[in-house]
Amino acid sequence: MHALSKFLPNDFDPAGGLTLLSGKGAYPRLVAERARAAGMDVSLIAIVDEVDPEFVETFPRERVLWAKVGQLGKFLSNLEKLRSRYFIMAGQVAPKRLFQGLVPDLKAALILARLKERNAHTIFGAVADEAAKIGVTQLDARAFMDDQLASAGTLAGKEKNVDPFALEYGIKIAKECARLDIGQGVVVSGGTVTAVEAYEGTDKMLRRCADIPKKNPLYVKTVKPGHDYRFDVPCFGARTLESMEIGGIAAAALEADNVVILEKEKVLAEAARRGITLVGWR
């Protein structure tokens, strides 16, 4: 285990430099802050029309390059120019950009043509392989974020607000949905499945629960078997709390060590203020 983070390889060298491939949200900012605190030189490949402008401004101009979704060739050439030994994918990209108006460059088209299955795991896995060919290692996106992970036990509110049967049932359903690659979250009410997360994403799933009859609903968040944390880290943040409140859901159970609570201290305090119970489970 590396001293800086348990999610870093044992031979990790902080002097090697880190490049972030960044979309929206707090995640890239938190990774950058922690990597800089560890003494690393941090660069940015910003995704056009996705990255937060305020975040870009925290980097020296010469350490920022840009690429559009689908421009794999440009991404790889940018990696070479920035001369980092490591890179991390962090932040959100609007799902519609992956399906509407996406024009892969030649490098991306060649990779897609040789893939038998085209899903996040195979596509991003191919990206990592291409980066490795130019000497850049993709890191687990939980690196440097150890203090933001959900831990086992009561995180906010009162554990008695979580029905043990609903928790056991919710974990079973969530794990099966994740195994089938449907989604990583479900809402259950006792022994009934109220909602399942799929392409729509977490927030829309939670918010539509407002129109569904339910009693003491519980939101359960997990990961799929063999989950590759280089490409996707399940997150829970302030927006999730807001969506839960809109959906009439007052309790959530997050898989410990696998779900990141973005700006954890603030989110747990806000959950308590809203009367929402959060627990971590293993």
pLDDT score recorded for residue 2:
82
More confident residue, 156 or 107: 156
pLDDT (tens digit, 9 = 90+) per residue, 234-263? 999 999 999 999 999 999 999 999 999 999
Instruction: Kindly state the greatest CA–CA separation across the chain.
Output: 56
pLDDT score recorded for residue 69:
81
**Averaged pLDDT, 175-190:** 94
Please choose, from the candidates 187, 171, 191, 180, the residue with its C-alpha nearest in 3D space to the C-alpha of residue 258.
171
Using CA atoms, how far residue 228 sits from 84, 99, 194, in Å, is: 22, 22, 28
Please choose, from the candidates 137, 122, 140, the residue with its C-alpha nearest in 3D space to the C-alpha of residue 260.
140
The chain-wide mean pLDDT, for the chain, equals 91
225: left (phi over 0), alpha (psi -120 to 50) or beta: beta
Radius of gyration of the chain (CA): 19
pLDDT (tens digit, 9 = 90+) per residue, 64-108? 999 988 888 889 999 999 999 999 999 887 655 555 555 678 887
The percent of residues above 90 in pLDDT, for the chain, comes to 73
Q: Is the pLDDT of residue 119 over 70?
A: no
pLDDT score recorded for residue 136:
96
Which residues are registered as beta bridge partners of 107? none
pLDDT score recorded for residue 100:
54
Up-side HSE of residue 156: CA atoms within 13 Å toward CB?
A: 23
Euclidean distance between CA atoms 73 and 109, whole angstroms = 10
**Averaged pLDDT, 220-234:** 91
pLDDT score recorded for residue 266:
97
Phi, then psi, of 271 in degrees rounded to 5: -60, -45
pLDDT (tens digit, 9 = 90+) per residue, 184-202? 999 999 899 999 999 889 9
Q: Is the pLDDT of residue 153 over 60?
A: yes
**Averaged pLDDT, 8-36:** 94
**Averaged pLDDT, 11-17:** 95
**Averaged pLDDT, 206-228:** 95
Q: What is the pTM of this model?
A: 0.90
pLDDT score recorded for residue 118:
67
Q: One-letter amino acid identity for 263?
A: E
